[in-house]
Amino acid sequence: MVLSQIRLSSEILAFRLRQVRSIEAVFEGLVSEALRNIDSTDLVIIDLRPHSQEPLNLIGFIRRHYPKIKVIAVGVYTKTEALRCVEEDISGFLLIDASMDNLLRLIARVQKGEHAIYPGIGRISKLPMPN
């Protein structure tokens, strides 16, 4: 499941993921529509843009109420977002400058049961703090 606060972003990402043979089914929607198909999902990709609390709160909700669902956050931009992802023990996250290839590699690692951060934990210290 691909979720974003920007419908076009979720549709574009879902369209690209549907072209990958190792990914069976992709549903997309707005963060506000997230719970509609959650029971039939094993991986949720949440776009944090535009940066607000709604997607971060959804991550926390999914981790608490659906602990078997793997969660990947994309578009991480601030230290606060990165640390919240770590605190929620999500499966992985990508910084805002990551590519589709980075996402596909991250998905493959997460599907194997790994936790992963791109491009690595060292970059988190260079992220800006929110105002």
Look up the domain containing 110 and give its range: 2-124
The answer as to whether 130 is a domain residue is no
The answer as to whether 120 is a domain residue is yes
- Number of structural domains found in the chain: 1
- 88-109 average pLDDT score: 89
For the chain, what is the mean pLDDT? 82
The answer as to whether 85 is a domain residue is yes
The answer as to whether 29 is a domain residue is yes
The answer as to whether 131 is a domain residue is no
The CA distance from 115 to 85, in Å, is: 11
The answer as to whether 116 is a domain residue is yes
- The domain that contains 15 carries what CATH number? 3.40.50.2300
Residue 120 has pLDDT above 70, yes or no: no
pLDDT computed for residue 71 by the predictor: 93
pLDDT computed for residue 30 by the predictor: 76
The CA distance from 59 to 44, in Å, is: 9
The answer as to whether 37 is a domain residue is yes
The CA distance from 55 to 72, in Å, is: 11
Residues 35-82 have pLDDT tens digits of 777 887 888 888 887 767 888 888 999 999 999 999 999 988 888 888
The answer as to whether 55 is a domain residue is yes
